[in-house]
A and B are shown apart, each in its own frame.
Chain A
Amino acid sequence: MSEIETITPPIREEAASTPLSAPKNTTFESKWKSNQILEASKSIFFAVIGLVAFGGLWELLSYTTEEALPKPITTLTVLFEMVSDPFYDYGPNDKGIGLQLFNSIKTVFLGFILGSIVAIPIGILMGASTIYKQIFYPIVQLLKPVSPLAWFPIGLVVFKDTGMATIFIVFITSLWSTLINTAFGVGSIPQDHKNVAKAFGFSKKRYLTKILIPYSLPHIITGLRLSISVAWLVIVAGEMLSGGSGIGFFVWDSWNALSLEKVISAIIIIGIVGLLFDKLFTYIENKVAYKA
């Protein structure tokens, strides 16, 4: 409980200082602001409760397993050491966590961007035309449920390179959600908007840039957000298979070195990066959203 008490007071001070900046409507503005701050501190409060409970459970588990599962505090110490020197490079099997993370993010973005370049146009075609939908939809339905890792051998055969094969599986992973959401967005353009284009003789280009894309953009971004979160899931497993570099390789390597502290630290970092990806795309989603 002591952690919570230390969080709230500085926020209250901020509330007291804000009204000075706005002379007009001061009382209502400050009321609104203090309400916002109250809500924010509430959500922080409950988040901290959750984390503390989680830590407690973890502590309990490591206690009952006689520290086969490392204790939170030892893990956090290792995590801190890893983060404090992230970019060292002592050869192929001993790189800093920052370098590994950078490699993974690079691979994910390469595969993700390539996948999006393919998925968005095909999704638009599928949404706009029944024929294309009939051509592509069975393929999508057939391939979507396949675990991306099953594509790894094919990637290896085709590219003869584990790095390329990893990009390839991220590419495959990134296709489906983007494809389906884009097709759905384009397919659900209201007749009203289409009527405007028809009645005023919009050219194909004008229809595409002024109606189709603006309407389906929020759906496309949602697809991209789902795609990148799955891609981030897959990269860890992919790098365990491919080896050599990346956060997935780091997890596997740490497991082989029997350092569960490092494994858990890596898990925490993977989680945080995944969360940041999600936040980034949610932010873009809100940016492109429009009010009807």
Chain B
Amino acid sequence: MSYIEIKDLEISFPTPKGKYTAVMDINLSINKGEIISIIGHSGCGKSTILNAIAGMLTPTEGSVVVDNKKIQGPGPDRGIVFQNYSLLPWLTVYQNIFQVVDSVVNGSKAEKQAIVEKNLKMVNLYEHKDKLPGQLSGGMKQRVAIARAFAINPGVLLMDEPFGALDALTKGTMQLEVLKLWNLDNREKTIIMITHDIEEALFLSDRIIVLNNGPASTIKEIVEVHLPRPRNKIEIVKMPEYIDLRDKLLHLLTDHFSIEDMGMVYKK
């Protein structure tokens, strides 16, 4: 049995117009230490799947099993990096991480402090530990959010569009940061992330889950990425395999390739 088993997952919400099904028939097995990207258009239920694994949403049908335990709610075995960082603005960087560690980890205060400091150093934010989130740049906030998720040492790291709000340069650095942390941890953490970005998915993932458009999205295709690790951004883009995968994903995600395909005719 794989580390994460998603079986016949369906998530629906009651609405004034009746039942709204966000995702259905999701079946997925994920191995320990895999990096998985979920990709798809806005509103196709990517976050819904992630939230079901996180335990923030209860499945309408089916189940999510992590490490042989059925998910009933959020737990310390799964760390979440939220889409918009979700740091508490009145707490310092240090306190933002400490409160979470203090809530989840058993141990003495000194041990907890050591964990916080270690994780702050890992994302190079130790000098900024006494700042408030409002004083940080977007990339720094994201690093705090990642350090917070890593600090509870979860088996699974769930990231909802973690780099969506960052500029291209910061994004590149942050992708490397995450890979670095994953490597430091002997590639034992399973990472599931949501993204819009095909190149990001290819650079980071072992497998890419492509979803159909919502509502009632299903898995359209699972694309395996066999690019050798460690991956170098400049080198992999030249590999024929990379180019094929990118084209494939573009096809999967783009229904119409040109304006003419949508029934428009240019008058020349």
Give chain A's interface residues, CB within 8 Å of chain B: 192-193, 195-196, 198-203, 206, 210-211, 214-215, 290-292
Would you list which residues of chain B between 32 and 86 have a CB under 8 Å from chain A? 54, 56, 74-76, 80, 82, 84, 86
Interchain nearest-CB distance for B102 vs A (Å): 8
Q: Which of B1-9, B88-96, B122-130, B187-195 contacts A (4 or more CB under 8 A)?
A: B88-96
A193 with B104: CB separation less than 8 A: no
Within 8 Å by CB of A193, from B75, B88, B100, B102, lies B88
13 residue pairs of the A-B complex, CB under 8 angstroms, read A192-B82, A195-B56, A196-B82, A196-B86, A198-B56, A199-B54, A199-B56, A199-B82, A201-B74, A201-B103, A206-B99, A210-B91, A290-B134
Contact pattern, B 1-30, Cβ under 8 Å of A = 1, otherwise 0: 000000000000000000000000000000
Q: Does B152 contact A (CB under 8 A)?
A: yes
B99 with A214: CB separation less than 8 A: no
**8 interchain residue pairs of minimum CB distance:** A291-B134, A214-B90, A290-B90, A192-B86, A200-B100, A199-B80, A199-B74, A290-B89
A292 with B89: CB separation less than 8 A: yes
Other A-B contacts than A199-B80, A202-B103, A290-B90, 11 sampled, CB-CB below 8 A, are: A192-B86, A200-B76, A200-B99, A201-B74, A201-B75, A201-B104, A206-B99, A206-B102, A291-B89, A291-B132, A292-B134
B104 with A195: CB separation less than 8 A: no
B86 with A193: CB separation less than 8 A: yes
Interchain nearest-CB distance for B120 vs A (Å): 17
Which residues of B are found within 8 Å of A203, using beta-carbon distances?
Answer: 103
Which residues of A are found within 8 Å of B103, using beta-carbon distances?
Answer: 200-203, 206
Distance in angstroms between the alpha carbons of A202 and B54 in the assembled complex: 15
Interchain nearest-CB distance for A211 vs B (Å): 7
Interchain nearest-CB distance for A218 vs B (Å): 10
Which residues of A are found within 8 Å of B74, using beta-carbon distances?
Answer: 198-201
B88 with A214: CB separation less than 8 A: yes
Distance in angstroms between the alpha carbons of A292 and B82 in the assembled complex: 16
Known: A200-B74, A290-B132. A195 touches B82 (CB 8 A): yes
A195 with B132: CB separation less than 8 A: no
Which residues of B are found within 8 Å of A291, using beta-carbon distances?
Answer: 89, 132, 134-135
Interchain nearest-CB distance for A197 vs B (Å): 9
A210 with B99: CB separation less than 8 A: yes
A192 with B132: CB separation less than 8 A: no
Nearest residue in B to A202 (C-beta to C-beta)? B103
Which residues of B are found within 8 Å of A195, using beta-carbon distances?
Answer: 56, 80, 82, 86
Distance in angstroms between the alpha carbons of A196 and B89 in the assembled complex: 12
Nearest residue in B to A196 (C-beta to C-beta)? B86
Which residues of B are found within 8 Å of A202, using beta-carbon distances?
Answer: 99, 103
Most chain A CB within 10 A, of B54, B84, B103, B134, is at B103
